[in-house]
């Protein structure tokens, strides 16, 4: 089986709306609702980019409600997708698609979620975004030498890991990936 065939198989499996995904999330609903609301406010700053990225694409998201990175990113992605009605946006459970996910959608050999795939109309992958924004990786790396408890405390104190800081970082990166996807699709016409 090839990646395109795996995508087509997954597209036949159970998919979730954002509301269904939110309803499945018992522990992180407050954070997710705050991220969704913050995204609504931030989107006002990106109207010119929204017009550009609102092109027909298949956009699929693998996520799980137990994942902290998903709690940060899924509301942002779902709210952005609402502003892009030309996207064919779907949310899938990574755990419910574990075999195919592990075989075809790992990043650096790891099962990183959330994983957002931008696909052309034939379901070939044209771009991806995963787990968390680049800036947050850099911040985490700068704290790696600290004892674990101090490391966690530094992350909790960092505005880049709190709403609306994390919301902005996720939104900016996903818009960049969407812009690249649209530019690539336009270059292939």
DSSP tag of 188: T
96-124 average pLDDT score: 93
User: How confident is the model at residue 28, as a pLDDT?
Assistant: 85
Alpha helices (H) along the chain: 3-11, 18-24, 29-42, 47-53, 68-82, 98-104, 134-143, 148-157, 165-187
CA angle 35, 47, 124 (to 5 degrees): 80
- Residue pair 163/144 in contact (Cβ under 8 Å)? The answer is no
> Checking DSSP bridges between strand 125-130 and strand 115-119, what pairing results, if any?
antiparallel
- The residue extents of the domains of the chain are 3-132+167-187
Please give the CATH number for the structural domain made up of 3-132+167-187: 3.40.30.10
The gap between the terminal CA atoms of the chain, to the nearest Å, is: 27
Q: How would residue 25 be classed by pLDDT, with cut points 50, 70 and 90?
A: confident
pTM above 0.85, yes or no: yes
User: Distance between alpha carbon 62 and the CA centroid of its chain, in Å?
Assistant: 8
Strand-pairing partners, residue 116, are 61, 129
161-180 average pLDDT score: 97
Nearest by Cα to 155 from 142, 164, 174, 167: 142
Token representation of residue 172: 């900016």
pLDDT digits (tens, 9 = 90+) for 35-80: 999 999 999 999 999 999 999 999 999 999 999 999 999 999 999 9
Nearest by Cα to 166 from 8, 24, 31: 31
Q: How would residue 94 be classed by pLDDT, with cut points 50, 70 and 90?
A: very high
């Amino acid at each position: 089986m090839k990646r395109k065939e795996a995508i087509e198989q997954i597209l036949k499996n159970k998919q979730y709306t954002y509301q269904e995904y939110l309803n499945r999330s018992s522990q992180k609903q407050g954070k997710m609702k705050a991220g969704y609301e913050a995204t609504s406010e931030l989107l006002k700053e990106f109207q010119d980019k929204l017009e550009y990225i609102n092109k027909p694409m298949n956009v699929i998201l693998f996520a799980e409600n137990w994942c902290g990175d998903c709690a940060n990113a899924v509301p942002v992605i779902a709210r952005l997708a609402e502003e892009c009605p030309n996207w064919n946006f779907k949310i899938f459970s990574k755990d419910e698609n574990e075999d195919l996910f592990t075989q075809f959608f790992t990043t650096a050999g790891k099962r990183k979620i959330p994983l957002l795939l931008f696909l052309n109309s034939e379901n070939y992958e044209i771009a991806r975004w995963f787990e968390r924004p680049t800036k947050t990786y850099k911040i985490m790396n700068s704290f790696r030498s600290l004892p674990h408890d101090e490391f966690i405390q530094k992350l909790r104190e960092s505005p880049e890991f709190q709403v609306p800081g994390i919301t902005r970082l996720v939104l900016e990166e996903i818009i960049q990936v969407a812009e690249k996807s649209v530019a690539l699709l336009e270059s292939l016409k």
